[in-house]
Amino acid sequence: MNDPQQIWPEEFAARYRAEGYWRGETFGMMLDRLAAEFGGRVAVVDAAHRWSYAELAERARVAAAGFAALGLNPGDRVVVQMPNRAEFLSVVFGLFYAGLVPVYVLPAHRETEVLHLAAKSGARAYVCADRHDGFDYRPLARALKAAVPAIGPVVVVGEAEEFIPFDGFTGRMAAPVPRDPGSVAFLQISGGSTGLPKLIPRTHDDYIYSFRASADICGVTADSVYLVALPAAHNFPMSSPGFMGALIAGARVVMAPNPAPETCFALIAQEKVTHVGLVPPLALLWMQAAPRTKHDISSLQVLNVGGAKFMPESAARVRPVLGCTLQQVFGMAEGLVNYTRLDDPEDIITQTQGRPISPDDEVLILDDAGQPVPEGEPGNLFTRGPYTIRGYYEEPAANARSFTPDGFYRTGDVVRRLPGGYLEVRGRATDHINRAGEKISAEEVEDHLLAHPGVFDAAVVAVPDRFLGEKSCAFVIRAEGADLTVRELKSFVRGRGIAEFKVPDQIVFVPEFQTTAVGKISRKALRAALKEKYLSEG
Ligand code: J2J
């Protein structure tokens, strides 16, 4: 936990405190303050629960006592794999209250990813739901305990079987365990472009600043109602402004079990939802469904769209079709978040991805040689600021690549700066597939393909998709004599215990990779060459 690269140099920390960004409040303290301020108001709603701020805090205090009684100590990491339910909040605030550090994994993650992230984070416990979306997490918990000996208690929300039932916790912690507000509050997963996912350490001070400022920029007040449509463990629905931004404003959080238009439209009508965040493909789906819905969605005020590029033509349809203001958001779990502002002119809202949250967000746009590009020209985006990490969790090699010596994060995005500091995302320099906002590392999927004995080599590329934005295509050279089929290979990859969204959408068998280039070329150049050769005409 003490990787010095995670820590801001003191001169920066001092400035961020002096500017009032970092206020020295931990998540545990925040919960107590919100319960005192908004006590009887509704904090969170799902299909089965409706809790006030006072109730949420009480449940977190009970959970905290329960976690502490399991022998977990302040600073210990706990893997949390929870769907969008009210208990997402009682679990994580219970952990914060007990001084524990959640490691957020997505409900879609499977054994391979969960084992890796648990081992990588040095986690000591696992919290999951019994089942969700047709998947049973208890066998996964068994596999995790067998493979990662450091994992002790497993706490299950729902039917616990041999594990510890979350609902069985008794006792009550009277006050939050004191933590340094500058310490790591939780670990989140990066959408990284190389190998397995990396862990992003966020501190109490930096993260609370990011969503407090976001709530303000997004017009979230105590009268707002925020719908969590995307998986709650993602940084976007958590903090941009997300359920955290909603809570700090005293608003109501509504947990949607899935982002389908009819599910969400019913919740919007029922709870008078004012704010929601969506990735572009979902925004398109909602716009398609809205004219025919029987539900009244007129309470919607702000639709945040981000995670992938939202095309200006689609952006222009949001207000006419959904009757609310579009607010584009270009963010990343590593930190920097940009928003168009609610009162910006229409062309800024539809054609840009916004400008940074903070006056102290530093943005550099550099060419491949590291020199600033002329104003308005596209270049590589680097950033540093009061809520952008200085390094991944225990990744010295990746940190040397992803951060400059003076602490700028190399985002991998190619952007153009417009007057007023607005950014337009033009593309990216790193090799991942942005599939409906889920970032998939080409290298990670290639490794799964290569594990099949019938595969000689594999290269995974992003191909444009009208609906998803991008989808994945794997070029595969069969091993000599192997008569592998696309179906077999897909089911093999699926069987590797990974999130379904990582299984290649398309597999193309090719006889060889390089016909023209001589000598060694980078994987990146190879992927580009394959795309050019097989996908450009057609
Ligand atoms: C183009 N690309 C975008 C956008 C993110 C708010 C919103 C999104 C995320 C997120 C987030 C984009 N247009 N509007 O954490 O708080 C791509 C970029 C970026 C990467 C980060 C938030 N918004 N992107 O998507 O960590 O390539 O965070 O670097 O999942 O998504 O992905 P992630």
In this predicted structure, which of 2-11, 132-141, 264-273, 420-429 has the lowest mean pLDDT?
2-11
Distance CA 400, CA 260 (A): 41
Domain annotation covers residue 492: yes
ipTM summary value: 1.00
As to burial, measured by CB atoms within 10 angstroms (0-12 exposed, 13-18 middle, 19+ buried), residue 225 is buried
Q: What is the pLDDT of residue 534?
A: 83
pLDDT in tens, 14-40: 999 999 999 999 999 999 999 999 999
In sequence order, what are the residues at sequence separation of 6 or more whose Cβ sits closer than 8 angstroms to the Cβ of residue 205? 16, 21, 22, 23, 24, 25, 181, 182
pLDDT in tens, 444-480: 999 999 999 999 999 999 999 999 999 999 999 999 9
Q: What is the pLDDT of residue 491?
A: 97
Which residues contact ligand 1 via a Cβ below 6 A?
191, 235-236, 239-240, 306-309, 328-333, 337, 353, 411, 413, 425, 428, 437, 439
- In the DSSP assignment, the letter for residue 216 is H
CATH of the domain at 57: 3.40.50.980
As to burial, measured by CB atoms within 10 angstroms (0-12 exposed, 13-18 middle, 19+ buried), residue 20 is exposed
Domain annotation covers residue 457: yes
Global confidence as pTM: 0.96
Q: Tokens 């997505």 appear where?
A: 106
Domain annotation covers residue 75: yes
Domain annotation covers residue 92: yes
H helical segments located in 413-483? 442-450
pLDDT in tens, 54-113: 999 999 999 999 999 999 999 999 999 999 999 999 999 999 999 999 999 999 999 999
Does the structure show a pLDDT above 80 at 488? yes
pLDDT band at 4 (very low <50, low <70, confident <90, very high): very low
Domain annotation covers residue 214: no
Domain annotation covers residue 122: yes
Query: Which residue CA neighbors atom 16 of ligand 1 most closely?
Result: 236
Kindly give the distance from the C-alpha atom of residue 67 to the centroid of ligand 1, in angstroms, as a whole number: 33
Q: Averaged over 224-228, what is the pLDDT?
A: 99
SS3 498: coil
pLDDT in tens, 136-160: 999 999 999 999 999 999 999 999 9
pLDDT band at 524 (very low <50, low <70, confident <90, very high): confident
Query: Which residue CA neighbors atom 29 of ligand 1 most closely?
Result: 332
Kindly give the distance from the C-alpha atom of residue 530 to the centroid of ligand 1, in angstroms, as a whole number: 26
Across all residues in the chain, what is the average pLDDT? 95
Closest CA to 96 of 16, 204, 10, 202: 204
Could you give the dihedral angle defined by the CA atoms of residues 166, 169, 173 and 178, in that order, rounded to the nearest 10 degrees? -40
Can you give the residue range of the structural domain that contains 475?
432-535
What's the total number of domains in the chain?
2
Does the structure show a pLDDT above 70 at 5? no
Domain annotation covers residue 321: no
Distance CA 286, CA 270 (A): 17
Q: Which amino acid, one-letter code, is at 319?
A: R
CATH of the domain at 506: 3.30.300.30
Helix axes 442-450, 486-494, angle to 10 degrees: 110
Pairing of strands 154-157, 125-129: parallel
Q: What is the pLDDT of residue 538?
A: 45
pLDDT band at 308 (very low <50, low <70, confident <90, very high): very high
425 CA closest ligand 1 atom index:
1
Kindly give the distance from the C-alpha atom of residue 32 to the centroid of ligand 1, in angstroms, as a whole number: 31
Q: Averaged over 318-341, what is the pLDDT?
A: 98
Kindly give the distance from the C-alpha atom of residue 53 to the centroid of ligand 1, in angstroms, as a whole number: 30
Q: What is the pLDDT of residue 430?
A: 81
- Cα–Cα distances in Å, from 325 out to 239, 299, 303, 304, 421? 19, 12, 6, 9, 21
Distance CA 331, CA 63 (A): 31
Q: Averaged over 393-411, what is the pLDDT?
A: 95
Does the structure show a pLDDT above 60 at 1? no
Element of type H or E holding 322? helix 318-322
Q: Which two tokens stand for residue 70?
A: 């399991």
Domain annotation covers residue 221: no
Domain-ending residue, one of 180, 207, 229: 180
Query: Which residue CA neighbors atom 5 of ligand 1 most closely?
Result: 307
pLDDT band at 519 (very low <50, low <70, confident <90, very high): low
Distance CA 273, CA 42 (A): 13
H helical segments located in 369-480? 396-402, 442-450
Q: Averaged over 436-448, what is the pLDDT?
A: 95
Please say whether the dihedral angle defined by the alpha carbons of residues 499, 502, 507 and 513, taken in this order, is positive or negative.
negative
Query: Which residue CA neighbors atom 33 of ligand 1 most closely?
Result: 332
Domain-ending residue, one of 139, 154, 180: 180
Kindly give the distance from the C-alpha atom of residue 408 to the centroid of ligand 1, in angstroms, as a whole number: 17
